[in-house]
Amino acid sequence: MNPVLEYPDLPVVRVSRVISTKEESSYIGAMVGDVKPTITEPCRVVDDNDETILIYAPYAGDIVAYRNAVLSIPMSLTPRAMAFVNASRTFGKATRRQAVKREGCRDAALASEMPEAHDVLLDGAEACKNQLTHYLPEQVTHDQKTLDNEVGPEWRMYPEALWTSGVINYSSQLPYHKDRNNFDAWSAMPVIRRGVRGGYLHVPAYGMCVACQDGMVVYFPGYKLTHGVTPMRWATKDGYRYSIVYYALKGMKDCHTAAVEMAEARKRRIAREEAMAEKARQALAGTD
């Protein structure tokens, strides 16, 4: 990793809430319309209570290595609500998930499939933590304490990380949502893009729309603020827009040590396979 040695001063942009909390909630699940960006330059966004609600700053690591790593990773198509399809790839740590036969907490598959690219993404987690610490140390202290109390160091991206997991979204117009599966902690969202118009981050509560320009990072409490992505239009055939989101997943608090997870996963896998075999035997017996 090659982080910058100094962080640029960020001007303060003040915003006011334009809709109530109840109105904000009514947006969830709806697709985002065309909205022009209101945040186009690096800044710290502050509300009427003098609380920082968003930071928009240049990526503080090696952006060339980061771009090359992200572009090298194959994406998988994942069904979402409202029949919306998102091309994405997870990284960092993954919780148990019986529905996809993930019997225990473990590293995301990308760690073993593409370890060099995965390491660059973990470097990005460190670069983003250092940058957020510079601009908002009190928030980092709060979020670090939350993870220290809830998640063991082996289930974070690295032992002192602010985040457990991440997802790469490829040119995805996500509907309005809150990150309800995350701890009450800020997320970081670097963006790399070429030849695509739109794809801005809209926060309706404040009538705020972040341009999400190439090489920029958006820091904000996605668990608290409803947000979504505006439509995209390709200006070139090889255009792309990747948002790489770092977050602290609540489910990781239920993970045991790695050794226990492996042992328990093996037991669950054997039990599942035995149940499938017994079901097959019963089906064959029924045809006699």
How confident is the model over 37-96, as pLDDT tens digits? 999 999 999 999 999 999 999 999 999 999 999 999 998 766 544 445 578 999 999 986
For the segment 29-38, the average pLDDT, to the nearest whole number, is: 96
Give the Cα separation of 269 and 100 in Å (integer). Answer: 12
Domain range for 276 is 256-288
pLDDT of residue 254: 86
Position 3, amino acid: P
pLDDT of residue 82: 42
Higher-scoring residue by pLDDT: 194, 286: 194
Enter the tokens of residue 1: 């990793």
pLDDT of residue 172: 79
Share of the chain above pLDDT 70, in %: 81
> Is 65 in the same domain as 109?
yes
The CATH number of the domain holding residue 34 is 3.60.130.30
In this prediction, residue 169 has a pLDDT band, given cuts at 50, 70 and 90, of very high
> Is 95 in the same domain as 206?
yes
Q: Is residue 7 part of a domain?
A: no
Contact yes or no for 287/281 (Cβ under 8 A): no
> Is 45 in the same domain as 156?
yes
For the segment 130-150, the average pLDDT, to the nearest whole number, is: 96
Domain total in the chain: 2
Enter the tokens of residue 11: 């001007």
Tell me the DSSP string of 161-194.
Answer: -S-SEEEEEES--PPSB--TTB-SS-EEEEEEEE
Give residue 211's Cα distance to chain centre.
18
Mean pLDDT, the chain, whole residue set: 87
Q: What angle do CA 168, 173, 178 make, to 5 degrees?
A: 75
> Is 184 in the same domain as 227?
yes
In this prediction, residue 264 has a pLDDT band, given cuts at 50, 70 and 90, of very low
Report in angstroms the alpha-carbon separations of 287 from 123, 276, 277. 58, 17, 16
pLDDT of residue 140: 98
Angle between helices 63-71 and 115-135 (to 10 degrees): 140
pLDDT of residue 156: 94
pLDDT of residue 34: 96
Enter the tokens of residue 86: 């998102």
> Is 147 in the same domain as 268?
no
> Is 166 in the same domain as 25?
yes
Residue 13: count of CB within 10 angstroms of its CB: 15
List, for residues 207-245, the tens digit of each pLDDT value: 999 999 999 999 999 999 999 999 999 999 999 999 999
pLDDT of residue 6: 72
pLDDT of residue 99: 45
Higher-scoring residue by pLDDT: 271, 284: 284
**Token match 């948002």: residue?**
243
Among candidates 129, 152, 96, which has minimal Cα distance to 247? Answer: 129
pLDDT of residue 188: 98
pLDDT of residue 279: 65
Please determine, for residue 278, whether its predicted confidence score (pLDDT) is greater than 90.
Answer: no
Please determine, for residue 192, whether its predicted confidence score (pLDDT) is greater than 90.
Answer: yes
Question: Can you tell me whether residue 58 is helix, strand or coil?
Answer: strand
Q: In sequence order, what are the beta bridge partners of 198?
A: 232
Q: In sequence order, what are the beta bridge partners of 189?
A: 218
